[in-house]
Structure 1
């Protein structure tokens, strides 16, 4: 970001614009508009259980210009059924609802959403201004007190956080200075730049800096007496008030129907259940250009099903909106089902840097393999031994892009040269690199041996969640056999897989490549450096950084250390131009070093909807971060067209 940026609400397309306001494209700012609530809430309004819609909305709601963003203005009503493989997947609701203090549009520009405006000064001082009259889903006011409570009463509470405030709120190990300016304005200020702050607020699972204080104070020892807390602790079957507060305040794990939310739909079902209902939030802060309060859809229904039959049930129309539990392997069946059932099948582009990457564990316990895999010649050889064209044709019907594990063309940071670096299928060059690295073939033998004399037999482990990975590995095993490397496949389960990675028992794994393949320079390049223990190529180095040195091991590979230094330079940067330079260096270094062996990217993901569902793009970018699956495409604008011919 620049030295100082002020971001007010978005541009009006109505004649009711506040004169001279600077707005972001596609969003209006209404002043004296007539608003319309959903018919499903009229009975509650008539009985006095709910105030009129004009009193439920902020004074200046966020007004989404449907026509200006290529959408159709809709109408209220209807439901959306979604199939999930288990109770934990109800977390999709707040992810795709994507109501954030500020959030991304489909072009990955940040704009105010819940906030009326914000100001970022050199990425050290952040001032947030709330919309006047904005309320939580239970009708309680959203105010500066909710920020103060989240910070002072929770984040700084030593019983709740014995190790200190959450690491994501620290810069150089120090927390921000927090201040309440007035009942609608708060400020966070650090001495050094914090360029990740706004990105984390806009994330699929956002930084928790605001909580519904009026509701949660009943579970906090600073506001409730031990006598009042005791029966609640017993009722919720937890050990103390800290665990009680944690359980009752999970905004991104919507298992508490009483917890107020700012999302378009609020949970109505407590677990356990086979169906989880999310009803419209009567105080949601967005409207369309005709004054209809969003969301259009009255309710979401998440129905639990066996994961094995989700594709089949999707094809027969048992889901009105499906993206989870289906993959490209199901596309042929789904497209055929489209002819017989009232569904529509779209193909979105996945945003991972590689749909499937082979990831050598540079921290594995096997001394021989660890030394071999730390030799860049070996990693380059294994990459060049893969016939990506055959893989693309056989597994992805030629619809993917053969590439290393790097950013996609949709990212402003994309460099086509880096996509191709060390990815050309060339067994001759691969053989030469392996020879130079000391993995030699005994006379008369095709298979190579490690420098310690063992057969060059590498076990590649999967978490057992994708037949696509297994199919691809069988092809790659043939490719590597051509250069004298024996690949064996071991299938595991995710929990066991993670434990084995951390214990150094896995020499090489298969996983998706970089999660966010469409970054801008203002998004953090943490995935390219050893920053987290969930990075399979260097879990111990990542744990060391993540724990501030209390776990794992410090990196001792010069290129990994350089990546870490570059990431830390990005964290101290204050301009987009500086960050773009750093990103470029990190992308080049990771491509040259082949820390992960990418195969193909730009693969396709089926997104299936009811035929009468409107405003779901036929093409989109699909992934967790930063798109929040469907979130940046605003599912609150989806509606059911029940008119004649609407299907």
Structure 2
């Protein structure tokens, strides 16, 4: 990443003056509706004065043509959330090299990681044609964050540094500034994330649902007509962006939802005011429409293999690859394999906050966690489940990360059952029952119920092998499947001893990305949910960590958050990675596993190889789906 001490004026691609491009701007015929009551303004008037110019050739892509409908399959209505994730329009976002670039912003400046000044694009508009200005930031700050009814806890916790929020300023119509007393290096990463910190909203639209701006009689009528409990519920419903279920809510994304739920098909259409163009002046996106058809999750791979999707990445797994690859011979589709970025594809996660006193004390003994890791034959798992194509590893970052070191990958991940036996003996599990199972300190046999949401077949396959391997050191496991939300409640309630899932979500971090996953920060961390809840709630809920190594990780994270120098943040990252992998808080198996990526044969600019994951890749987001196009000559 570039130096953050200097002024950042980052524009993707090539900056071409509006005077040069304006005469050559082109939009899609899709937007020309002769029956429209109010025709759209010319494309040059719908674009910002300085649009973001994406130089396709410079990115190794082909400049495209407008047109076409892209079909995707989703497992339920909530999965329309994928569209704003992969559209990936952000104030500041990552490119395919995971470097930050201005996107919605024309430019931005950072001073000592404390002062962040955002410059908007003059003439930029929301999808309904209303102006995108500093007023949209002011509205969120003053009328949403500081409104105790909308935000009972005040401004979002992620905006606080050492308990204090920033000073927010509107400098002028197109400039806003956030200033903290201390360094806040996580701020831009939060803005660039798959579920970004929402600093702006379409205020011209949302003011009709806010009592400060709407007549009480009209607001009461809206509450009744929308069947909302009060104006707060109405405003929250109308402003939801994570799942864009309100077709009337203006957006800055490439495509706008046109379908109100419930529906079996959701239609997204191109945003006529989208801010990006290619080097030839064609307004992006190239594709006019997205069709998202709801199907049973279990059938999505089969339907993809019969040509019912033009782009499919969700609800597919490596186990589907052979079937999908064979389908290439029958349907005009291409199946590629991308590398998943999770720290471990299948990860065993002991619950250090479980209510069972005996297991809780054992899990807090690093010798037990290390022993169970050493008792796993990762080479056998790799060959049997992943055809030898994965990488045996602890739950840690991948070689694609600039922070990678082999010692993190290799930490307690060799297959060494003799050392595992010795460590378990030293931890007090030196007695055996009649079946050869070790006996717990209270005399129970060492049987572990591993709970799962059952969403990935690879988990069951891996656990079958792990059961055989752990049996050799006197441990027996049983698999229990629960619905995801029920499972999470059981983990937080301490009823679950161990779960299985994926490892670190971001296995390709840079030093400027927050190491939140390595320390107790949220109640979604299944190894220490109550410690994470304590951090998430600001100390008002859960329990403070009482394990020295977990406390050390949290203190290191706090030090990272206040570190203004890049070299200091990198040093802290390595300290945390060393401690996290050495302590084996989660037991990884393999990573760099492969994810099927299916596209129509005529769809261009989707790379044959890529990194696949939620954060920071936004699945396909960093590869710019607005640049995908249909080549009729292919």
Q: When the two structures are superposed, what TM-score results if normalisation uses the length of structure 2?
A: 0.98
How far apart in 2 are the matches of 1:225 and 1:152? 19
Give the alignment partner of residue 548 of structure 2, picking from 534, 558, 571. Answer: 558
Paired residues for 1:33-48 under 5 Å: 34-43=24-33, 48=38
How far apart in 2 are the matches of 1:572 and 1:171? 8
Contact 2:22-2:44 at 8 Å conserved across structures: no
Paired residues for 1:214-613 under 5 Å: 214-442=204-432, 446-613=436-603
The residue that corresponds to 1:184 in the other structure is 174
Superposed CA offset, 1:603-643 (max 9, x none): 00001011100000000000000000000000000001112
Alpha-carbon deviation of 1:445?
5.0
Superposed CA offset, 1:85-127 (max 9, x none): 1000000010000000010001110000000000011111110
How far apart in 2 are the matches of 1:522 and 1:436? 40
Alpha-carbon deviation of 1:444?
6.3
Alpha-carbon deviation of 1:34?
1.6
- In structure 1, list runs of 5 or more residues that go unmatched: 19-28
The residue that corresponds to 2:9 in the other structure is 8
Paired residues for 1:95-174 under 5 Å: 95-174=85-164
Give the alignment partner of residue 54 of structure 1, picking from 44, 47, 50. Answer: 44
How far apart in 1 are the matches of 2:37 and 2:26? 17
Alpha-carbon deviation of 1:548?
1.2
Structure 1 residue matching 2:557: 3-state secondary structure: helix
Alpha-carbon deviation of 1:442?
3.3
How far apart in 2 are the matches of 1:44 and 1:227? 38
Classify 1:364/1:265 alpha carbon distance in 2 versus 1 (closer, same or farther; 3 Å).
same
Superposed CA offset, 1:232-254 (max 9, x none): 11122111111101100112211
Classify 1:83/1:635 alpha carbon distance in 2 versus 1 (closer, same or farther; 3 Å).
same
Contact 1:522-1:576 at 8 Å conserved across structures: yes
Alpha-carbon deviation of 1:48?
4.7
How far apart in 2 are the matches of 1:357 and 1:32? 53
Contact 2:116-2:177 at 8 Å conserved across structures: yes
Structure 2 residue matching 1:43: 3-state secondary structure: coil
Structure 2 residue matching 1:598: 3-state secondary structure: coil
Classify 1:575/1:432 alpha carbon distance in 2 versus 1 (closer, same or farther; 3 Å).
same
How far apart in 1 are the matches of 2:461 and 2:188? 40
Hey, which bits of structure 1, 4+ residues long, moved more than 4 A?
11-14, 29-33, 44-48
Alpha-carbon deviation of 1:4?
3.0
Mean Cα displacement is larger for which, 158-167 or 334-343? 158-167
Structure 2 residue matching 1:465: 3-state secondary structure: coil
Alpha-carbon deviation of 1:308?
1.2
Contact 1:533-1:542 at 8 Å conserved across structures: yes
Superposed CA offset, 1:472-497 (max 9, x none): 11110000000000111111110110
Contact 2:605-2:629 at 8 Å conserved across structures: yes
Mean Cα displacement is larger for which, 608-617 or 45-54? 45-54
How far apart in 2 are the matches of 1:443 and 1:259? 64
How far apart in 1 are the matches of 2:7 and 2:34? 39
Contact 1:615-1:639 at 8 Å conserved across structures: yes
How far apart in 2 are the matches of 1:336 and 1:460? 35
Contact 1:2-1:575 at 8 Å conserved across structures: no
How far apart in 2 are the matches of 1:96 and 1:502? 31
How far apart in 2 are the matches of 1:501 and 1:109? 36
Classify 1:262/1:444 alpha carbon distance in 2 versus 1 (closer, same or farther; 3 Å).
closer
Alpha-carbon deviation of 1:41?
1.2
How far apart in 2 are the matches of 1:32 and 1:315? 43
How far apart in 2 are the matches of 1:441 and 1:108? 51
Alpha-carbon deviation of 1:32?
4.6
The residue that corresponds to 1:26 in the other structure is none
Alpha-carbon deviation of 1:338?
0.8
Superposed CA offset, 1:477-522 (max 9, x none): 0000000001111111101100100010111110100100000000
Contact 1:3-1:574 at 8 Å conserved across structures: no
Classify 1:113/1:319 alpha carbon distance in 2 versus 1 (closer, same or farther; 3 Å).
same
Structure 2 residue matching 1:303: 3-state secondary structure: strand
Contact 2:523-2:529 at 8 Å conserved across structures: yes
Superposed CA offset, 1:129-174 (max 9, x none): 0011000000011001001001111111111112211112212222
The residue that corresponds to 1:71 in the other structure is 61
How far apart in 1 are the matches of 2:358 and 2:14? 65
Contact 1:30-1:61 at 8 Å conserved across structures: no
How far apart in 1 are the matches of 2:36 and 2:214? 35
Alpha-carbon deviation of 1:43?
2.9
Alpha-carbon deviation of 1:208?
0.8
Q: How many residues align?
A: 633
Contact 1:146-1:210 at 8 Å conserved across structures: yes
Alpha-carbon deviation of 1:47?
6.8
Alpha-carbon deviation of 1:545?
1.0
Mean Cα displacement is larger for which, 279-288 or 249-258? 249-258
Structure 2 residue matching 1:556: 3-state secondary structure: coil
How far apart in 1 are the matches of 2:544 and 2:12? 49
- In structure 2, list runs of 5 or more residues that go unmatched: none
How far apart in 1 are the matches of 2:364 and 2:133? 53
How far apart in 2 are the matches of 1:282 and 1:518? 35
Alpha-carbon deviation of 1:440?
1.7
The residue that corresponds to 1:198 in the other structure is 188
Structure 1 residue matching 2:98: 3-state secondary structure: coil
Q: When the two structures are superposed, what TM-score results if normalisation uses the length of structure 1?
A: 0.96
How far apart in 1 are the matches of 2:39 and 2:203? 22
Contact 1:45-1:52 at 8 Å conserved across structures: no
Superposed CA offset, 1:218-243 (max 9, x none): 00010002201112111221111111
